[in-house]
């Protein structure tokens, strides 16, 4: 390990992670001297690995699947958005030795939509597909944009209904199954299922996308995901993948650690141009 400040992402699996490349590009862009590594850590070894990391002088950590709930439990302090999401993707060592847990996923999504793609959420009818950890992390930041309504549809209906109930104080949120979507239309459809990762598409009715409606898959890949392709086939105004969200959530974590914001536009373009083997 070098003498520079060091950071890491923990997860399992982790070999596919783009975070080291993204943070290296951020560091170059902002002239920060720091080191960032990916480390395979199982849920069983999480507590020991994080404790060791901070004892050795680590300044901050990202946590990804399946460790976000464990990171939430580990943190000695929590940001309001982490408290709301009940999941943590960023740990920040504080000057007093406490470890602050935050969740930058939802902020990353909203920044990508509103800043990078000029998609306003105010008064929009928004549909989230999926009721797992990613959905949980994006609900509050979406509701802060004051949509007309938010519907959460999931394969296991009980989970979407429970999630809608849990967040009902934030505004009009409904939980349902995919079949219940027939006859409805939405200005923005967010695919927060992991179905794209296995080349699967949730069973969605036709005419689900309103005129000028947008599709956004939180998943991403070297080729357009199956959901992005579905959006194009269904004549969505735009059909986007989650690479921008990935970079924006990382930029927010970088800002929390280093106090400086990288130029994400340039870095998203660099990552889009690289082949999958390079990133
Ligand atoms: P979870 O495992 O917590 O949840 C998975 C969700 O997908 C569940 O709602 C599950 O439904 C649903 N699902 C899985 N397979 C299918 C299928 N074949 N058909 C329909 N629904 C399905 O995963 P996460 O919420 O943590 O992650 C979801 C996705 O979001 C992942 O692809 C992840 O890569 C992406 N992500 C992207 C980020 C980014 O920065 N771009 C950040 C965070 C996540 P059920 O409840 O019925 O099992």
- The reported pLDDT for the residue numbered 279 is 38
Is 121 touching ligand 1 by the criterion CB < 6 Å?
no
Q: How confident is the model at residue 277 (pLDDT cuts 50, 70, 90)?
A: very low
Q: Which mutation among 17, 104, 132 tests ligand 1's pocket best, with the greatest number of atoms within 8 A of CB?
A: 132
- The reported pLDDT for the residue numbered 16 is 87
In degrees rounded to 5, what are phi and psi of residue 48? -65, -45
Tens-place pLDDT, residues 163-175: 999 999 999 999 9
Gap between the Cα atoms of 61 and 41, Å rounded: 12
Strands 173-176 and 238-240: unpaired
Reported as type and span, the H/E element at residue 151 is strand 149-153
- The reported pLDDT for the residue numbered 113 is 98
Give the C-alpha distances (Å, rounded to integers) separating 261 from 9, 74, 254, 257: 19, 26, 7, 10
- Integer distance in angstroms from the first to the last C-alpha of the chain? 22
Q: Which mutation among 19, 155, 177, 220 tests ligand 1's pocket best, with the greatest number of atoms within 8 A of CB?
A: 155
Domains recognised in the chain with CATH numbers: 5-103+244-273 (3.40.50.10860), 109-241 (3.40.50.720)
Work out which ligand 1 atom sits closest to the CA atom of 201. 19
Gap between the Cα atoms of 89 and 57, Å rounded: 19
Work out which ligand 1 atom sits closest to the CA atom of 200. 18
246 CA distance to ligand 1 middle (Å):
15
Considering only CA atoms, which residue is closest to atom 13 of ligand 1? 193
Q: Is the pLDDT reported for residue 203 higher than 70?
A: yes
Is 247 touching ligand 1 by the criterion CB < 6 Å?
no
Tens-place pLDDT, residues 97-145: 999 999 999 999 999 999 999 999 999 999 999 999 899 999 999 999 9
Quick check: is 68 catalytic?
A: yes
Percent of the chain, pLDDT > 70? 97
Considering only CA atoms, which residue is closest to atom 46 of ligand 1? 156
- The reported pLDDT for the residue numbered 133 is 87
State how far Cα 44 lies from the chain centre: 23
Strands 186-191 and 209-217: parallel
Percent of the chain, pLDDT > 90? 94
DSSP 49-97: HHHHHHHTT--EEEE-TT-HHHHHHH-SEE-HHHHHHT--SEEEE-TTS
- The reported pLDDT for the residue numbered 278 is 41
226 CA distance to ligand 1 middle (Å):
14
Neighbours of 149 (CB within 10 A): 15
Mean pLDDT of the chain: 95
Gap between the Cα atoms of 248 and 158, Å rounded: 31
Strands 77-78 and 60-63: unpaired
134 CA distance to ligand 1 middle (Å):
7
Q: How confident is the model at residue 273 (pLDDT cuts 50, 70, 90)?
A: confident
Gap between the Cα atoms of 24 and 36, Å rounded: 7
191 CA distance to ligand 1 middle (Å):
8
Gap between the Cα atoms of 265 and 273, Å rounded: 13
Catalytic residue among 68, 122, 149, 179: 68
DSSP 91-150: EEE-TTS-EEEE--HHHHHHHIIIIIS----TT-EEEEE--SHHHHHHHHHHHTT--SEE
Tens-place pLDDT, residues 58-108: 999 999 999 999 999 999 999 999 999 999 999 999 999 999 999 999 999
- 138-164: average pLDDT: 97
Is 159 touching ligand 1 by the criterion CB < 6 Å?
yes
- 241-253: average pLDDT: 98
Compute the residue count for the chain.
279
- The reported pLDDT for the residue numbered 244 is 98
């Amino acid at each position: 390990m070098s003498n520079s400040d060091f950071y890491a992402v923990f997860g399992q699996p982790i070999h596919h992670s783009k975070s080291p490349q993204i943070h290296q590009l951020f560091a170059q862009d902002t002239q920060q001297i720091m080191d960032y590594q990916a480390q395979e850590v199982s849920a069983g070894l999480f507590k020991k690995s994080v404790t060791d990391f901070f004892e050795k002088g680590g300044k901050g950590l990202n946590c990804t699947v399946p460790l976000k709930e464990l990171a939430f439990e580990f943190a000695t302090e929590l940001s309001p958005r982490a408290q709301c999401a009940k999941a943590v993707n960023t740990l920040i060592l504080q000057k007093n030795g406490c470890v602050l847990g935050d969740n930058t996923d939802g902020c990353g999504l909203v920044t990508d939509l509103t800043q990078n793609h000029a998609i306003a959420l105010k008064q929009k009818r928004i549909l989230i597909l999926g009721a797992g950890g990613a959905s949980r992390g994006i609900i509050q930041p979406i509701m802060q944009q004051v949509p007309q309504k938010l519907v959460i549809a999931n394969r296991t209906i009980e989970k979407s209904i429970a999630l809608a109930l849990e967040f009902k104080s934030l505004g009009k949120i409904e939980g349902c199954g995919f079949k219940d979507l027939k006859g409805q239309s939405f200005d923005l459809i967010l695919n927060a299922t992991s179905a794209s990762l296995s080349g699967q598409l949730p069973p969605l009715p036709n005419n689900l996308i309103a005129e000028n409606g947008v599709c956004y898959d939180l998943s991403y890949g070297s080729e357009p995901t199956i959901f992005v392709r579905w959006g194009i086939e269904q004549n969505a105004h735009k059909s986007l993948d989650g690479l921008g969200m990935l970079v924006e959530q990382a930029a927010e974590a970088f800002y929390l650690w280093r106090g400086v914001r990288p130029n994400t536009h340039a870095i998203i373009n660099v990552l889009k141009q690289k082949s999958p083997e390079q990133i």
